[in-house]
Amino acid sequence: MFPSLASRAVRRLTNCAGGEGKGGGTPGIAAGLKPRPSGAPDQPPCVGEKSGLKLTYGAARQRSAGGGFQVGRDQIALVCLGGPLRLCPSAVGAKNQQAAGLLPRATLYPQLRDALVGYNGLMKLGLEQSRWVRSEPRNALPAFLLERIMRTACSSYTVTEIQPFSDGLRNANFKLRVDSASEPLVLRLYEHDASLCQKELDLMRLVGKSVPVPEVIHAEPRGLDDCPPFMLMRYVEGITFRELKRGRDCDAIGQAAFSAGETLAAINRNIFTKPGWLAPGPAVTAPLLEGPHPLPRFIDSSLSPSNLRLRMPADLRDRTHAMVWAWAPKLAGLEGETRLVHGDFNKRNLIVRRRADRWSVAAVLDWEFAISGSPLNDIGNFLRYEPASRPLFEPHFSSGYLHAGGNLPDGWRRLARLVDLTALCESLTRGQLPDTIIAELIELLRATVENRDPP
């Protein structure tokens, strides 16, 4: 129903307070705010209640896009393809915690296995991979790890240069130059959630014939003995759509926007049997949020936390609540949609280039947040900062979408902005946000409630 609820945006926001078109470095809000998945079922099996296992239970439980749980600041996570797990609200002793946000050491794994036995075949998930989980992506790669990966993936290559991509928030990405290939390679390490490697690999295979994606040279979804899951891909030449927009070439932007619409329509042509979170397969696991009217209920839950109430004026909270429930009947029509949704369809994840005097999408990156749901999730994300009075992407984007077979409901633009409210509201619940970002989020919310152009 709403965007993949595992946000990558907040750390981006702290690096760029002025929205997607301002400043350098990592992008701002427009990079794709997505609320974390509070929509997991309320009472799945609880790990530890019967086994005696004690796990840290942070104040804010997150369910990752790959199906696992990330618990509070300690980053204790369980990869779970068969469905969500509920962790006991009891603390693990300091001796069972690793520094730097890693999981408890191997002494805890047998207890985890005992606790999980019998629940939907979860033992096959390889809990031993949990030792790779990190709270933040690495920005350096030890020589032994790089050597091990290259020896496994392509032993004929020798790396001559390695450059980290600075804006990875969950997975680490490195651009590699090798001596026996004219084109660079990209190494992607999955240390946040081991299942995401297989999920992204399966999704790229699913869409690869109709959607431009990087060519995968080698993948190790289960990782190796001494390194996490990884994927080695060919580097796609081009620039991000975000960089193209900065150039303010309206013709080029219009061409690329038309191609982005065509690309999104091709993604949305893939249909699942039900809406929900996607795991490797790709297969739909849990619903995005149990029960009727998930979007208004989710927004209501985001309006309740104390930190949001301190940041968001009471009158705006009341107006937001009233508006989404006034729209609930029309939003309900989106609940049963089962299209493939990229979940992070923004200008940072679209590589564009010029060929034959025309700009087009060369690759769609970062499929880890994909879900089964309504295409308006991606449309709202892509057009978040698009002013109706001074359009850059419209009508090119929607024309490309319709040209490639996409369908847009009556009032689609307004509906897409309402769906995008889930991301904006949830982001205001997060612990540490700069005042400039809080102000920007509030203005985006106010513009949506007042049905006017974004700031």
- CATH code for the domain of 173: 3.30.200.20
Q: Locate 283 and state its tokens.
A: 């297969």
Examine the domain organization and report whether 184 and 224 are in the same domain. yes
Examine the domain organization and report whether 256 and 270 are in the same domain. yes
CB 176 within 8 A of CB 154: no
Q: Provide the 10 A C-beta neighbour count for residue 386.
A: 18
Q: Provide the 10 A C-beta neighbour count for residue 143.
A: 9
Examine the domain organization and report whether 230 and 245 are in the same domain. no
Report the chain's mean pLDDT, rounded to a whole number. Answer: 75
Give the Cα separation of 266 and 6 in Å (integer): 24
The whole domain housing 206 covers 143-190+194-234
| Per-residue pLDDT at 401 exceeds 80 | yes
Q: Locate 454 and state its tokens.
A: 């974004």
Give the Cα separation of 389 and 392 in Å (integer): 10
CATH number at residue 309: 3.90.1200.10
The answer as to whether 41 is a domain residue is no
The answer as to whether 20 is a domain residue is yes
The answer as to whether 137 is a domain residue is no
Give the Cα separation of 165 and 153 in Å (integer): 20
227 confidence band (pLDDT: 50, 70, 90): confident
Partners of residue 240 on adjacent β-strands: 351
Examine the domain organization and report whether 390 and 243 are in the same domain. yes
The per-residue pLDDT for 368 is: 93
The per-residue pLDDT for 226 is: 76
The per-residue pLDDT for 455 is: 85
Examine the domain organization and report whether 106 and 164 are in the same domain. no
The answer as to whether 4 is a domain residue is no
| Per-residue pLDDT at 377 exceeds 50 | yes
- Tell me the three-class secondary structure of 175-234, residue by residue: EEEECCCCCCEEEEECCCCCHHHHHHHHHHHHHCCCCCCCCEEEEECCCECCECCEEEEE
Examine the domain organization and report whether 435 and 363 are in the same domain. yes
Sequence-separated (6 or more) residues with CB below 8 Å from residue 363: 212, 213, 214, 236, 238, 350, 351
The per-residue pLDDT for 419 is: 95
Highest mean pLDDT among 32-46, 127-141, 253-267, 298-312: 253-267
More confidently predicted of 431 and 402: 402
- Give the pLDDT confidence of 202-218 residue by residue, as tens digits: 999 999 999 999 999 99
Partners of residue 25 on adjacent β-strands: none
The per-residue pLDDT for 138 is: 63
Domain boundary among 98, 113, 132: 132
Domain boundary among 214, 234, 254: 234
Picking from 2, 188, 191, 174, the residue whose alpha carbon sits closest to that of residue 100 is 191
Picking from 77, 68, 190, 80, the residue whose alpha carbon sits closest to that of residue 124 is 80
Examine the domain organization and report whether 58 and 26 are in the same domain. no
Give the Cα separation of 86 and 63 in Å (integer): 10
Examine the domain organization and report whether 64 and 105 are in the same domain. yes
More confidently predicted of 173 and 12: 173
> Within 327-411, where are the H helices?
328-332, 376-382, 396-403
Number of domains forming the structure of the chain: 3
Residue for token pair 């709403």:
2
The per-residue pLDDT for 52 is: 33
Highest mean pLDDT among 35-49, 128-142, 351-365: 351-365
The answer as to whether 330 is a domain residue is yes
Examine the domain organization and report whether 168 and 27 are in the same domain. no
E strand residue ranges, 313-355: 339-341, 350-355
Report, in angstroms and rounded to the nearest whole number, the Rg of the chain calculated over CA atoms: 21
| Per-residue pLDDT at 55 exceeds 50 | no
What count of Cα atoms within 13 Å lies in the side-chain half-sphere of residue 383?
32
234 confidence band (pLDDT: 50, 70, 90): very high
Indicate the range of 98-102, 229-233, 408-412 predicted with least confidence: 98-102
Q: Write the single-letter amino acid at 401.
A: Y
More confidently predicted of 13 and 225: 225
The answer as to whether 376 is a domain residue is yes
CB 33 within 8 A of CB 427: yes
Residue for token pair 């999704």:
203
The answer as to whether 40 is a domain residue is no
Q: In what order do the strands lie in the sheet with 371-373?
A: 283-284, 276-279, 371-373, 339-341
Residue for token pair 């308006």:
376
State percent of the chain over pLDDT 90. Answer: 54
More confidently predicted of 168 and 301: 301
Give the Cα separation of 421 and 324 in Å (integer): 9
- Give the pLDDT confidence of 128-156 residue by residue, as tens digits: 333 444 445 566 778 888 888 998 988 87
Examine the domain organization and report whether 348 and 289 are in the same domain. yes
Domain boundary among 98, 132, 166: 132
| Per-residue pLDDT at 68 exceeds 50 | no
The answer as to whether 39 is a domain residue is no
Indicate the range of 96-105, 170-179, 202-211, 441-450 predicted with least confidence: 96-105
Examine the domain organization and report whether 20 and 87 are in the same domain. no
Examine the domain organization and report whether 127 and 213 are in the same domain. no
CB 422 within 8 A of CB 295: yes
